[in-house]
Structure 1
Amino acid sequence: MPGWVDRRNALGPSGVILGLGLGVIHVIVAKEEVMMDFVPVDLVNNAIIAAGWETYEKFNSRNDKKISIYTVTATRNPMNLREDLDVANQFEEYFSNIPVYTTKGLNTSPNDALDLIKCYVPQNKQQFVSKQAIWHCFGILTGYRFTYVILSWLLHYIPALIIDGCSILMGKKPRLFKVYKLVDTLSAVFEFFFTNDWVFHDANTLSLYNKLSDTDKLLYNFDMASVDCSKKMFVFCYGVKRYIIQEDDADMEYASKKQFWYFVSSNDKIMAVGWHLIKCYFEHVY
């Protein structure tokens, strides 16, 4: 079952992918250069099997009682949030038509002011956007809590209050504001991990792998250097859509059309607000 994800893990890293795909999450506290140390669970399982074999050999054949620690990590095959060009390329390939914006750090020079927020519009068809999306899917990454708070109110809480207000008038139960409080909690939990890097040493794991025969290396592969990072993230995102919200590829066309109209609608509103602000400015000046 490639990409299988436990539905109970929806509040883990899968929740971030899920939130983007549903058009719920639009801003995340994260630094572009942080390494994404995602490891497929089947490689971990293979390493456990091989470690059990080596431990038995050490204890019984060589009488070696030393306990070894085996770390399965992506340190030798890293993928950060700005791999190749910038972070948007990752989501373009794995999350298709979800544009991702990034805010630079405080060391940005005045000449880079126009690049403070980068916009990347992907060219591929939407593959992972859900038909259950509630709004246009896009994301903003910022490494600063203050920026996150401002953008959260603009993109999360204010729209939530408006929608919940309409729900109350229609006699329905307001839910969106509570959802964004949960998003805030999720962001706070992952902020430390999305803004810091760690280097895990896997010398014991590499030594163990090199002791395997060629046949065992194929049957019990746990060499992260052999993993295609693009395929890994592709399968992970597919699994979130397939096993958590339980949608398949048959829903892709409908989801794409829905996102198109969300995109048109959201841009119309932005243009209307922009025009109103410009009009008010000139009326005030002249």
Structure 2
Amino acid sequence: MMVITSPGEMTRFAESARASGKRIGLVPTMGFLHEGHLTLMREGRRQSSVLVASIFVNPTQFCPGEDFARYPRNFERDCAMLQTVPVDIVFAPEPSAMYSPDAQTWVEAGEITSGLCGPHRPGHFRGVTTVVAKLFNIVKPHLAVFGEKDFQQLRAIQKMVRDLNFDVEIIPVPIVREKDGLAMSSRNAYLSPAEREDALALSLALRAAREKHRAGACCAEEIEFAAIRVLKRMRGVAIEYVEAVDAETLARHPSLERPILIAIAARVGKTRLIDNTVLQP
């Protein structure tokens, strides 16, 4: 497994691989990997002949007051985990290599980022789509793998790819959960044992929403309320939002005759967690 830190070297490697007929897969990450990441890597491994994992804690997607400085990092541990897949290339640039001091160009996905996490994390999705666009240009993948836990991020990247004619296939992978239902996340490392128990309220709330939908809810708001009732029973959970939106467009007031995304963002202690599920009509 090679570690590349220079964008120029990464691009030269990718161009050589493409010229020799190799199929390049990319899994972008911010490191501090867990089994959810490895599930994405294995899917990338299955569909590509050269697998690249990027490890880059992207400063432009952190809003003021967020956890960029304390975001968990353990590069040696990450590399050991990636070797088990195995991954061929780890692309691990420094921020100074990815952003010049006078950089002024951004990529924005528009309306699809205006709801859900958008109002609570101004500038976040602009940072995400910009860095992913840069990774696509540097790594030149044929395919890129993203998890559905960051569902709005996935939809924003899919829209960017369509709107800007990127020649890359986006492969979504379902959420990977702990045995008790908690969605895997690098930020779970922040949780104390008591907070870890409180965090289960998110997956329990989604279960309540599924049950209300299955029982024949009359509208999306009724499904939202079923999830909110569960979250409000847990004192250690502060709700940021619970929303039912169209699973494709992320528009509010979705039709129950189409797939619906139920998305939750909440703070457990000082840790912001997200989770979601898609309900089929």
TM-score using structure 1 length: 0.24
Larger radius of gyration: 1
Q: Which has the higher helix share?
A: 1
TM-score using structure 2 length: 0.24
- With CA pairs under 8 Å and 6+ residues apart, which has the higher RCO, 1 or 2? 1
